[in-house]
Amino acid sequence: MSLAEEINKRRTFGIISHPDAGKTTLTEKLLLFGGAIQSAGAVKSNKIKKTATSDFMEIEKQRGISVATSVMAFNYKGTKINILDTPGHKDFAEDTYRTLTAVDSVIMVIDCANGVEAQTKKLMEVCRMRNTPVIVFINKMDREGKDAFDLLDEIETTLDIKVRPLSWPIGIGSSFQGVYNMYDKHLNLFDSNKTKIENDVIAIESINDKALDENIGTEEAEKLREDIELVEGVYDGFDVKNYTEGNLAPVFFGSALNNFGIQELLDTFIDIAPFPRSRETNVKVINPTDEKFTGFVFKIHANLDPKHRDRIAFLRICSGKFERNKFYQHVRIDKKVRFSNPTSFMAQDKSVIEEAFPGDVIGLYDTGNFKIGDTLTEGEKLEFQGIPSFSPEIFKELINMDPMKTKQLEKGIQQLTDEGVAQLFIQQPGNRKIIGTVGELQFEVIQYRLKHEYGASADFQAKNFHKACWMTSDDDAKIEEFIRRKAQYIAKDKDENYVFLAQTKFLLQSAEGDYPEITFHTTSEFKTDAT
């Protein structure tokens, strides 16, 4: 099969949502419909009878939340589908942001009762930054919730994107009877007593077909016809180009927990979702069809299997063909590397692969060579853009509670911050470690993982910092002077870059006023920084 044919077979997307909208459940049901797994476990509150397939970290199992991005691949109707299930919790927004750099499109899950929530808005802003195509899945239709038209209005107004329903619900909550697939013109009826996969859909040649009345009742059929007529009158027709350019969001309705509405979503997704897309580098735009292999690391996960203490770098392939045991150029460290056991993922299951193509996400066993954002090529010196670190919002000093386990603590915090769970800043004198995060939950995760994966005990002492700012200037002497004068507020990040830990917004503004020759950046990728 040619490179172009391999590319056209692939769809790589992320699933995003506000916590508890049903994102991880939807991920599982897509795997179930794709035949990748045989049964699925439901995540209810914090009690998990059978842990969700994509939640493999122990703390996730205990809390019933996703805090790490999971990578899963399966084949469906001749299409290779790569799913990246992202953390829903707002404290892990940066991990989600980086994951979105590795996908070509997104499915956004919205709870029909809660509508558009705070985290949904933030995630949508990230999608808009790259014009990432978005499909909306309105979940939990078997429960009482908002009117379908009200939900569509809310999505358009709050998320600033046009919508086009491609399926339509028949009732909601206790009166929910199923969905009418407007894209393929068929009816799928809901039975709350059945939780297995349903394949028996009723073909309806026209919305006026009498079979509609026979199956859902005359009153409900008339209501559906009125709704469809209103949809056709109010919303623009579905245009694939508008969708792939990120200007129009197709909308589907269903219940992930009850396996309902998933088939419509999956079948339409493989039909309309974009193939692997081009990616920008600091040198040129890389197209998937380029002959030479390129790829970038967007995530690192230590102890994916605690028994084996493995460390895996997740690599998104952008062009060419990746081959097992072939030497590639690690651009940042200017070194040739090869991989004898590259893996593909089906949640917890890993399998060694011989080759992979643009759109694929593979795992590379790593001994500490990789950092997030690293580029692999066949010799070209280029770096992919758009994978920065952001200034944290909460800063705490790491306190070692067991001096006998100092070595384990050092290793643990190094590996966990390599993953991007948090940022590590080293302050002198004393080699003090300041951990920066977006939210409080990350400290809980770090503390838990240090204890259970590394045997190290740690505590955190709050530090009063407003922002971490990276510094650039054409005048090196001014940077040196600033570092000397502000020594107690200066630290180094993991890449040995100097960072100014500003205590307040006022003190940051004062520094900018006193040193106009220095630019203070709130992201580590200075070219894309808006400050």
Q: Are strands 467-473 and 423-427 parallel, antiparallel or unpaired?
A: unpaired
Written as six digits, the tokens of 482 are 């600033």
Position 445 pLDDT exceeds 90 = no
Per-residue pLDDT, 402: 94
Handedness of CA 398, 401, 406, 410 (dihedral sign): negative
Secondary structure (DSSP) of 257-324: TTTBSHHHHHHHHHHHSPPSPPEEBSS-EEPTT-SS-EEEEEEEEE-SSTTTT-EEEEEEEEES-EET
pLDDT band at 53 (very low <50, low <70, confident <90, very high): very low
Burial class (CB in 10 A: 0-12, 13-18, 19+), 55: buried
pLDDT tens digits for range 173-182? 988 888 888 8
Per-residue pLDDT, 63: 46
Contacts of residue 326, defined as CB under 8 A and 6 or more positions apart, other chains included, come to 338
Per-residue pLDDT, 214: 86
Bridge-partner residues for 492, per DSSP? 426, 498
Position 306 pLDDT exceeds 60 = no
Bridge-partner residues for 248, per DSSP? 162
- 394-528 is a CATH 3.30.70.3280 domain: yes
CATH of domain 279-377: 3.40.50.300
For the segment 77-89, the average pLDDT, to the nearest whole number, is 81
Alpha-carbon span 78 to 254, nearest angstrom: 25
Q: Residue 410: which of 420, 427, 428, 424 has the closest Cα? A: 424
Q: For the chain, which residues make up each domain, given as ranges?
A: 3-173+235-272, 279-377, 394-528
What is the average pLDDT score of the chain?
85
Alpha-carbon span 506 to 523, nearest angstrom: 19
CATH number among 3.60.150.10, 3.40.30.10, 3.50.50.60, 3.40.50.300, domain 3-173+235-272: 3.40.50.300
Half-sphere exposure (CA, 13 Å, Cβ side) for 166? 25
In the chain, % of residues over pLDDT 90: 53
List the single range of 78-82, 231-235, 306-310 with lowest mean pLDDT. Answer: 306-310
For the segment 214-221, the average pLDDT, to the nearest whole number, is 88
pLDDT tens digits for range 268-295? 999 999 999 999 999 999 999 999 999 9
pLDDT tens digits for range 364-375? 988 878 888 899
- One fold for 3-173+235-272 and 279-377: yes
